[in-house]
Chain A
Amino acid sequence: MATIHVDGQRYTVNGAHNLLQACLSLGLDIPYFCWHPAMGSVGACRQCAVKQYKDKDDDKGMVVMSCMTPAADQTRIDIDDEEAKAFRASVVEWLMINHPHDCPVCEEGGHCHLQDMTVMTGHDRRRYRFRKRTRRNQYLGPFIAHEMNRCITCYRCVRFYNDYAGGTDLGAFGARDNVYFGRYEEGILESPFAGNLTEVCPTGVFTDQSHSERYTRKWDLQFAPGICHQCSMGCNISPGERYGELRRIENRYHGEVNGYFLCDRGRFGYGYVNRADRPRLPECRESSDSEPVTLEVDTALARISDALRHSRRVIGIGSPRASLESNHQLQALVGMEHFSTGIETREQACLDLMNHLQRHAGLPTPTLRDIEDHDAVLVLGEDPVQSAGRLGLSLRQAALARREALGETIGVPAWNAEALKTLAQDRYHPLFIAWPTATDLDDVAAARYALAPDDIARLGFAVAHRIDPAAPPAEGLSEGMADAAEAIAAALMEAERPLVVSGGSLGSEPVLEAAGNVARALSRRAKRGGMALIRREANSTGLSLMGGQPLDWALEELTNGHADALVVLENDLYQRLPRNTVDAALAQAEICVVLDHQRTATAKRAKFLLSAASFAEADGTLVNLEGRAQRFFQVYDPGYMRPESRIHESWRWLHAMAVNLQGERAGDITLDTVIAACVEAHPELGGMEEAAPASHYRIDGLQLAREPHRYSGRTSMRANQNVSEPRVPQDPDSAFAYSMEGYSGYHQPRQQVPFAWAPGWNSPQAWNKFTDEVGGHLRGGDPGVRLICPVPGQGHYSRPPQRAGDSPGLRALILPRLFGGEETSSLAMPIQKRTQTPSVTLSTDDAEHLSVRGGDTVTILGETLSVVQQDGWPNGWIGLPAGLFAGLLPGEPVTLDNSAGGAP
C-alpha cells in the first residue's frame, strides 16, 4: 500500500501498481492507449501524461507518463495540470492526424476507445491541413476484418498477439510514421485468440467480421450476462442481440475466470443461434419417413402427454450442454431412476473420477487467474488450448510469469512489460506436456513428451512416485521416461506452486488417476499447488454432479424393451455412441420426444420435436471445470421479433409437459422456482442458487437494464409487422428488464453486468469502472459459486493399471480441436471456415506397415482424409480430429481403408 497525492487529494493505492493503474483504480480518469491492464506498460503512446512533483515544495514539476511511473509512497502528481493537459491534447491531435475520421461507417464507432479518449482530452478541431497517409488492408480470415487506416500505432495488437498469446504471424512492419500492423503475408490469423484483437485494439483496425454482416452499434444492442457454452471453461460473455438475432459476443470481465480475454471458438462460435433451420415451433412427425408438421403449443403438449401416458416406461436423457435447470426438470418429469445423463459410460466414469479427485486429491482447483500464479506445470494427456481454449492462454501466462519473478530480483516492477520480456528472454517457468503431438504451448514448454495414452498415465504415476515414494511406482519404464519423470518431479518439487493439469480428452481413467496421484503426492509433501481438470462440455461438471445413468444404459433399456418412450434433452445421441447402437435403441422407442434448438441427427428421429431455447434465449446455470456454478441470462425474448415462434427454455417445456401429464392446467414456473426445486432435489448442488441474484433483485429499487441508455428504435422495431408498438416483454425469471429502463451504472457494486458502460467510457475499457482495482475483481464480487470443494484428509493413491498387451490394429486417439471439435459451434459459419482440413496421424512405423505415406488419402468410417506421418507419434494409435467421427469413442479400434487414394 502506498499513499499518493493526486490533484491535492490524498489516496491510498496499491504500491505495486503504476500511477495510471492506481489512478484508474481510484476512479480518476487519465486517458491512455498503449497500456492494458493485462499487458502492462510500454510507454509508447504518451497519452497518459501527468505532472509529477518531487516533493511538497516542488511547484514546477515534470511531465511524466503515469503508466511508466511507479505508484511509490508519497508520489505527488496532478492530472489536472495545464501543461500535462495541453500535452495530452497534443498527443490525441497527433494520433488523429492520419486517422480517417470515418466513425459513421466504422464498426468500432460507439464503443471506441479512441473516440472516448478524443472526447476526454477535448480534441475537437483539426489543425493538420496536409495529406493523410493511406494503407492497404489484408484478408485475415473469417473472424477479423482489417482496416489499417484507422490505426493509431499503439502496438497493443502485436503485444497481445505475440507477447501475450504466443502468435508468430502478426507483426509490426516498417518504421517512422509508416508502421503497419498485419500478417507477414495475407492469410488467416493463426492464433486461436485472435478475436481478442477486436477488443485490444483501441480503434477500428481489427473488427469482428461475424458482426459485420449484421452490424449494429453497441448502443442499439440488447445484452444479458452470458456464459460461453462452447467448452467447460465457463468464460463470461456479453452477447448482444438486435432484431431477434445474436450479433456479436464480447468478453464479459470476470476477475477470476476469463479476465479480459476469450478464445475464438467462444467469440465466433455463436452462429448456430441464428441458423435459419432452427426449430421455432413444436413439430410432429407421424412416421419416420414423413415430413414433420408444426403444432400449436397446447396441441403439442396434449399429444405428447397423451403418448407418454400410454407408454410403459419413459426414459429421460439429459445433456451436458444443457443447464442444470433443464436437466433437473427432465429428472423431475421422468423420475431419477429413469434418468440418464446422456453421457457415454467411459466419459461419465472420467467425469465422476474428476469430481472425486477435485475433492479428494489434496490440491485445490485454481481459478484461471490463480493458474497464472503457478510456477511449474505438468499437463498430463491434454492439449489445453484445443480442449479448453482460454485455459491454455492462462497456462501460457503461468510459464511467462517467470519474467516477473526475475524482474523482482533486480527491482523491475511487474507492469514494466518490455523490460521483463528483455530480462527473461526465453526463460519460462517449467511447463511439461505429455501429449502425443504438437500443442499450442510447446513454444513455452520445457519439454513435451509424445506418448501413447497408457504411457502418459505411467509417466504420471512415475512422477508421483518420485515426489512421494509412498505413491505406487510405475513398473518397467523406459530410460527416457524415467529421466522425464525425474525431471518433472524435480521441477514440481522445486516450485512454490506446482500445478497439475489433466482432463478427459483421452477418455482415460488411468491418466486421470495418475494426475490425481501427482496431486496427492504434492499435497503430502506440503506443496501449495493446484490441479485443474478439463471436461468436454459446458455443463459436463454440473451434470455429473447431478448424477444419472450413462447413455449406454438408457439405450440398452430401450433396445431390451425395458422402456418404450424417450425424452431427449438438447443432446445428439449420435455424437456419443455408434450409429448402430443409437439406431437400434431409437427403433424400439414408441415415442421419442426431443427438445433442442438445433436439427441434430437425433432431432430428425424424433416423433415430437420441441423448439428449445439456445443459451441466448434462456436462463440457466452451468458448472464449469472449476466446479463454479454460473448463471447465464436470456439475452432476448425470441417471441418479440418473431411473435409466431414458440421457443422456450427446455426447463419450461419440461415443466409444461409434467403439468400436462398430471392433467393439471399449466401454471407457469419461474427460474427461481426451478432453481429452488433443483437444489432441493440435489443437495450436492446447494449453493447454485447463489450463483446470481434472484428475480426480485433490485438496485436502487430498479431492475437491471438489458439495453444501453441510448438504445434506439425500439418502438419501431416491429413496425413492419404491426403499427402498434408491442408491449416490452416482461421477464418473470430474472432481475433484468428488456429495455433501457433500469440500472446500468457502475457506482453500485454488482456482479451481473450485461454490458460495460460508464459515462465517457463506451469501449470495453469501461470494465475498469466496475472493478475494485483495474485488472482486479468486480466490485460486487466475481460471479459464481464453487460447488466442488476439497475435502480434508489424506485420500488414497491409485495403483497403475496392469500393462495391457499390445493390441493388434489401430486404436483411436481423438485429438480435441478448438475449431470443428465441438458440436454447436461447428454449426457456425465462421468456425466452419476456420476449421482446418482434417487429417489422420500415424506413426512412421504404422504407416509403413499399412503402406501409406504422408499426404496419401485414406478412408475411415466413410470419411476420406489425408495422412500425416509423424515421427514420435505413438505406435498403435491413430490420431483423429475430434468432431469428425460422431460416436467414435477414444481407444476404440479403427480400421483404415487405404484403397481410396492409395500410394501415389
Chain B
Amino acid sequence: MSKSISSQRTSVRYRSRLLQPEADRHPDTHPLTWRLRDDGEVIWLDEYLRKDGYQSVRAALDNGNPQAIIATMKDANVRGRGGAGFSAGLKWSLTLQGGNMPRGYLICNADEMEPGTFKDRLLMEQQPHLLIEGMILGALANNSFYGYIFLRGEYVEAARVLNRALDEAREAGWLGADINGSGFDFDIAVHTGAGRYICGEETALINSLEGKRANPRAKPPFPGQSGAWGKPSVVNNVETLCNVPAVILKGADWYQALSGDRTDDGGSKLYGVSGPVEKPGLWELPMGTTGAEILERAGGMRANRSLKAWLPGGASTGFLLPEHLDLPLDFDTVGKEGSRLGTGLLTVVPQEQSMVALMRNLEEFFARESCGWCTPCRDGLPWTVKLLRALELGQGETGDIELLDKLAADCGPGLTFCAHAPGAAMPLQTALKHFRQEFEQGVGKPRGKAHPDPIPVGEV
C-alpha cells in the first residue's frame, strides 16, 4: 500500500526537462544547454569545470577591464530574456559607476511567474553554475558588490540547487572576497519570494527584496541610477545572465552568428510550447526559429485538435493566428504583428476553446495579480473580469464589448504605472480583434440596471 502511494507520488512528480538529447547539443550552437545531461541530473561544480566552467570569468578577471565586458555585450546585443527584450549591454552601460557612486547590486530575476513560462526553472535546477558565472560577469561589468537571486518561493528545488552551488562556488573561490586572486569581491545570496506575479517586474522586485510591498517604482530614476537601497542596481533575467559567459568567451560575432540569417537578433533562445500539443516541452534553438518549427518539435497539436490561436511568449503577449506560424520569432518581428515575443514560450489554443472563457481566465490572473497601486489596473481589470464572466454566461449587455475595448485601451503602455496592466490589455485587445464574434455571442441582453443583490460585508 505505502509502496503504491510513493510510486504514485513520484510518477506524477514534475521534473523540468529539455526535450533535446545531449547528442544534439554542442558548445558552439547551444551555449545555454550543451552541458545538460540526458538524465537531467544537476551539473555540479566539478562537472561544470570539466565542461569549460568559469572560463569566461577567469578570462574577464585576467583581462581586468570591465568596460570590455560591456562593450562585448553591447555588440552582441543580447536582448533581455525576461520579456521586454532590452539590450543587456546597453542597460549595463547606463549603470552609474565611479566617482562618488557606491558599488551596487546585481539582481537576477528568477521570479518566473508569467503564465506559460517554464524556462528559467530548467536553467536553475540543472545548471546553477552557469547562472552564477553570468552573475559574476555582470557584477564585474556593473561594479556590483553583491548579488541576489530573486527566486519565486514555489521553486523549492531551484533554491536547494542554487544554494548548494553557491556554497560550492564560494568554497572554490569563485565568490566572496578577492575572487580567484583578482582583488574583486562579490557574493550572491538567494532571496526567495512569497508569491505574487508582480514581483517579477524589476522595480517591484527591488521593493520586494527590500522587504516591502511589491509596488513598482517610478522610472526614472532607473535601477541603474538608484535601485536596491538607493544604490545602482542591475536586474536581469536568468536566461539573459546565462548567455553572458559564452558571449564573453566567444565574442559578439559568434553570438550574432548563432541565429544565422533568420533574424537580426543574435544568439539562441530557450523556446517551448505548452497547451494541448503532443509533446509540450523546451528546446534551445537559434533566435528567430519559427512557430511552425517549434510546434513541429512538440509533435504538433494533440490528436483531433487543431490550432486556433497562440500566445508567443506568455499570458501578457498578444494572440497570434495560425497564419503567423511561419514568422521568425524574434523581438521585432513579433512586435510588428501586434504582439510581443515575451518569454518565447508558446501557449497554443485549440479550435474548440472559447476565447471568452480563456480571456476570462487570463484577466482573472491579471486582476488578481495587480499590485493595487494604480487605478486602471487595480479597478479596471476587475471590471473586465466581471464583463467577461457575464459574456461567458451569455449575460453580456449591449455596450459591454465596447466597454472592453475601452478598458483594454485605457490599460495600455504609459497609461498605467508599470507594464502589468498593458500585459493584461494586449491579449484582450488581440482577442477582441481576432475573435470578436465570439464575444458578441455573449451579449444576450440590452443594457440593464446595476446589480440588485444585497451587498455582503467583505473580509478585511
Chain A residues proximal to chain B, CB less than 8 Å: 42-47, 49, 62-64, 68, 87, 90-91, 94-95, 97-98, 126-136, 153, 155, 172-180, 182, 406, 409-412, 416, 418-419, 422-425
Partner of B372, one of A43, A128, A179: A179
Q: Is the interface of A mostly helix, strand, loop or mixed?
A: loop
Looking at the assembled complex, report how far the CB atom of B401 sits from the nearest CB atom of chain A, in whole angstroms: 13
Instruction: Give every chain B residue within 8 A of A411 (Cβ-Cβ).
Output: 220-221, 225
Closest to A41 in B: B218
Query: How many angstroms from the CA of A385 to the CA of B292 in the assembled complex?
Result: 70
CB atoms of A130 and B230 under 8 A apart: no
B103 at the interface (CB under 8 A from A): no
Instruction: Give every chain A residue within 8 A of B23 (Cβ-Cβ).
Output: none
* Contacts of B396-411 to chain A: CB distance below 8 A: 397, 399, 403, 406-407, 410
Partner of B218, one of A172, A174, A418: A418
Looking at the assembled complex, report how far the CB atom of A615 sits from the nearest CB atom of chain B, in whole angstroms: 41
Closest to B376 in A: A46
CB atoms of B230 and A45 under 8 A apart: no
Closest to B456 in A: A134
Chain B residues proximal to chain A, CB less than 8 Å: 96, 100, 196, 213, 217-218, 220-221, 225-226, 229-230, 367-376, 378-383, 386, 397, 399, 403, 406-407, 410, 414-417, 448-451, 453, 455-458, 460
Instruction: Give every chain A residue within 8 A of B225 (Cβ-Cβ).
Output: 410-412
Given A62-B414, A131-B455, A153-B372: A42 in contact with B218 (beta carbons within 8 A)? yes
A-B contact pairs, 16 of them (CB 8 A): A42-B218, A43-B417, A46-B374, A46-B416, A64-B414, A94-B380, A129-B449, A131-B451, A133-B458, A135-B460, A153-B378, A176-B368, A176-B371, A182-B460, A419-B217, A419-B226
Query: How many angstroms from the CA of A418 to the CA of B221 in the assembled complex?
Result: 10
Which 5 pairs from chain A and chain B are nearest by CB?
Answer: A94-B379, A423-B230, A179-B372, A130-B386, A176-B370
Partner of B369, one of A176, A180, A409: A176
Count of A-B contacts judged by CB separation below 8 Å? 139
CB atoms of A97 and B450 under 8 A apart: no
Q: Which of B100, B229, B373, B381 has the most chain A CB atoms closer than 10 A to its own CB?
A: B373
Partner of B397, one of A62, A90, A129, A172: A129
Given A46-B416, A412-B226, A422-B226: A98 in contact with B379 (beta carbons within 8 A)? yes
Query: How many angstroms from the CA of A257 to the CA of B213 in the assembled complex?
Result: 35
Closest to B225 in A: A410
Query: How many angstroms from the CA of A43 to the CA of B373 in the assembled complex?
Result: 9
Query: How many angstroms from the CA of A182 to the CA of B460 in the assembled complex?
Result: 10
Q: Which of A126, A133, A175 has the most chain B CB atoms closer than 10 A to its own CB?
A: A175
Looking at the assembled complex, report how far the CB atom of A68 sits from the nearest CB atom of chain B, in whole angstroms: 6
Instruction: Give every chain B residue within 8 A of A44 (Cβ-Cβ).
Output: 373-375, 417
Instruction: Give every chain B residue within 8 A of A422 (Cβ-Cβ).
Output: 217, 226, 229-230
Q: Which of B375, B453, B455 has the most chain A CB atoms closer than 10 A to its own CB?
A: B375
Closest to A174 in B: B372
Closest to B370 in A: A176
Q: Is the interface of B mostly helix, strand, loop or mixed?
A: loop
Partner of B406, one of A45, A90, A176, A406: A90
New A-B pairs, 10, CB < 8 Å, besides A411-B225, A418-B217: A46-B416, A128-B383, A130-B450, A134-B458, A172-B213, A173-B460, A176-B382, A177-B381, A179-B372, A419-B218
Q: Which of B378, B386, B397 has the most chain A CB atoms closer than 10 A to its own CB?
A: B378
CB atoms of A176 and B367 under 8 A apart: yes
Looking at the assembled complex, report how far the CB atom of B457 sits from the nearest CB atom of chain A, in whole angstroms: 5
Query: How many angstroms from the CA of A24 to the CA of B456 in the assembled complex?
Result: 41
Given A423-B230, A425-B230: A63 in contact with B367 (beta carbons within 8 A)? no
Partner of A68, one of B96, B100, B218: B218
Query: How many angstroms from the CA of A46 to the CA of B412 in the assembled complex?
Result: 12
Partner of B221, one of A46, A68, A130, A423: A423
CB atoms of B379 and A419 under 8 A apart: no
Partner of A130, one of B96, B414, B451, B457: B451
Looking at the assembled complex, report how far the CB atom of B67 sits from the nearest CB atom of chain A, in whole angstroms: 21
Given A172-B213, A175-B370, A410-B96: A134 in contact with B379 (beta carbons within 8 A)? no
Looking at the assembled complex, report how far the CB atom of A831 sits from the nearest CB atom of chain B, in whole angstroms: 29
Instruction: Give every chain A residue within 8 A of B416 (Cβ-Cβ).
Output: 46
Looking at the assembled complex, report how far the CB atom of A58 sits from the nearest CB atom of chain B, in whole angstroms: 15
Instruction: Give every chain A residue within 8 A of B220 (Cβ-Cβ).
Output: 411-412, 419
Query: How many angstroms from the CA of A45 to the CA of B378 in the assembled complex?
Result: 10
Looking at the assembled complex, report how far the CB atom of A182 sits from the nearest CB atom of chain B, in whole angstroms: 8
CB atoms of A94 and B455 under 8 A apart: no
Query: How many angstroms from the CA of A63 to the CA of B416 in the assembled complex?
Result: 10
Instruction: Give every chain B residue within 8 A of A126 (Cβ-Cβ).
Output: 450
Looking at the assembled complex, report how far the CB atom of A723 sits from the nearest CB atom of chain B, in whole angstroms: 46
Query: How many angstroms from the CA of A874 to the CA of B218 in the assembled complex?
Result: 47
Given A94-B379, A136-B457, A175-B371: A128 in contact with B414 (beta carbons within 8 A)? no
Query: How many angstroms from the CA of A804 to the CA of B319 in the assembled complex?
Result: 85
Looking at the assembled complex, report how far the CB atom of A623 sits from the nearest CB atom of chain B, in whole angstroms: 43
Instruction: Give every chain A residue within 8 A of B367 (Cβ-Cβ).
Output: 176-177
CB atoms of A176 and B372 under 8 A apart: yes
CB atoms of B415 and A49 under 8 A apart: yes
Instruction: Give every chain B residue within 8 A of A62 (Cβ-Cβ).
Output: 414
Instruction: Give every chain B residue within 8 A of A172 (Cβ-Cβ).
Output: 213
Instruction: Give every chain A residue within 8 A of B407 (Cβ-Cβ).
Output: 90
Given A94-B383, A422-B230: A179 in contact with B378 (beta carbons within 8 A)? yes
Instruction: Give every chain B residue within 8 A of A130 (Cβ-Cβ).
Output: 383, 386, 450-451
Instruction: Give every chain A residue within 8 A of B380 (Cβ-Cβ).
Output: 90, 94
Query: How many angstroms from the CA of A832 to the CA of B15 in the assembled complex?
Result: 65
Given A63-B414, A135-B460, A425-B230: A177 in contact with B374 (beta carbons within 8 A)? no
Looking at the assembled complex, report how far the CB atom of A696 sits from the nearest CB atom of chain B, in whole angstroms: 50
Query: How many angstroms from the CA of A95 to the CA of B374 in the assembled complex?
Result: 10
Partner of A43, one of B229, B374, B448, B453: B374
CB atoms of A425 and B229 under 8 A apart: yes
CB atoms of B415 and A424 under 8 A apart: no
Query: How many angstroms from the CA of A175 to the CA of B369 in the assembled complex?
Result: 8
Partner of B378, one of A131, A135, A173, A176: A176
Instruction: Give every chain A residue within 8 A of B372 (Cβ-Cβ).
Output: 153, 174-179
Instruction: Give every chain B residue within 8 A of A68 (Cβ-Cβ).
Output: 218
Instruction: Give every chain B residue within 8 A of A63 (Cβ-Cβ).
Output: 414-415
Closest to B210 in A: A422
CB atoms of B375 and A134 under 8 A apart: no
Given A153-B372, A174-B372, A177-B367: A410 in contact with B379 (beta carbons within 8 A)? no
Closest to A148 in B: B460
Q: Which of A64, A94, A126, A173 has the most chain B CB atoms closer than 10 A to its own CB?
A: A94
Query: How many angstroms from the CA of A176 to the CA of B379 in the assembled complex?
Result: 8
Instruction: Give every chain B residue within 8 A of A95 (Cβ-Cβ).
Output: 375, 379
Instruction: Give every chain B residue within 8 A of A98 (Cβ-Cβ).
Output: 379
Query: How many angstroms from the CA of A94 to the CA of B376 in the assembled complex?
Result: 7
Partner of B375, one of A94, A135, A173: A94
CB atoms of B455 and A134 under 8 A apart: yes
Q: Which of A176, A411, A412 has the most chain B CB atoms closer than 10 A to its own CB?
A: A176
CB atoms of B218 and A177 under 8 A apart: no
Q: Which of B370, B372, B380 has the most chain A CB atoms closer than 10 A to its own CB?
A: B372
Partner of B415, one of A46, A131, A412, A423: A46
Instruction: Give every chain A residue within 8 A of B460 (Cβ-Cβ).
Output: 135-136, 173, 180, 182
Q: Which of B218, B369, B450, B453 has the most chain A CB atoms closer than 10 A to its own CB?
A: B218
Closest to A62 in B: B414
Looking at the assembled complex, report how far the CB atom of B316 sits from the nearest CB atom of chain A, in whole angstroms: 16
Query: How many angstroms from the CA of A406 to the CA of B382 in the assembled complex?
Result: 39
Instruction: Give every chain B residue within 8 A of A133 (Cβ-Cβ).
Output: 458
Looking at the assembled complex, report how far the CB atom of A300 sits from the nearest CB atom of chain B, in whole angstroms: 59
Instruction: Give every chain B residue within 8 A of A91 (Cβ-Cβ).
Output: 375-376
Instruction: Give every chain B residue within 8 A of A410 (Cβ-Cβ).
Output: 96, 221, 225-226
CB atoms of A135 and B458 under 8 A apart: yes
CB atoms of B414 and A177 under 8 A apart: no
Instruction: Give every chain B residue within 8 A of A131 (Cβ-Cβ).
Output: 451, 453, 455
Looking at the assembled complex, report how far the CB atom of B147 sits from the nearest CB atom of chain A, in whole angstroms: 19
